[in-house]
């Protein structure tokens, strides 16, 4: 497992702060961000899992089960 990154840092690096942190938190709550983990009250992202996703839920499920 790669080092976890705080959600705020990941949003800044990925979206150049074009989305709010609240939007990203909602995506985590809804399960839209693979590799998101809530520890205490903070959300963290596993960049390794994020890098290995296609954005298509069905394709990601197939690829995850093939490995």
Q: What band does 1 get if pLDDT is binned at 50, 70 and 90?
A: low
**What is the tens place of the pLDDT at every residue in 14-67?**
888 789 999 999 999 998 888 899 999 999 999 888 777 777 778 877 877 765
Cβ contact 53:34 at 8 Å: yes
d(CA 2, CA 61): 20
Q: What local confidence, expressed as pLDDT, does residue 22 receive?
A: 95
Beta bridge partners of 36: 45
The dihedral built from the CA positions of residue 6, 23, 14 and 61, taken in this order, carries a sign that is positive
pLDDT at 58: 81
Distance CA 57, CA 2 (A): 22
Q: What pLDDT, on a 0 to 100 scale, did the predictor assign at position 67?
A: 56
Give the domain extent around 32: 5-66
Sheet containing strand 42-45, strands side by side:
5-6, 42-45, 36-39
**pLDDT for the residue numbered 6:** 95
**Total structural domains within the chain:** 1
């Amino acid at each position: 497992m790669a080092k976890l990154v705080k959600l705020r840092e990941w949003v800044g690096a990925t979206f150049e702060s074009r989305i709010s942190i609240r939007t990203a938190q909602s995506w985590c709550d809804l399960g839209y961000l693979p590799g998101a983990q809530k520890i205490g009250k903070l959300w963290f992202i596993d960049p390794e899992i994020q890098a290995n996703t296609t954005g298509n839920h069905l394709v990601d499920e197939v690829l995850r089960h093939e490995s």
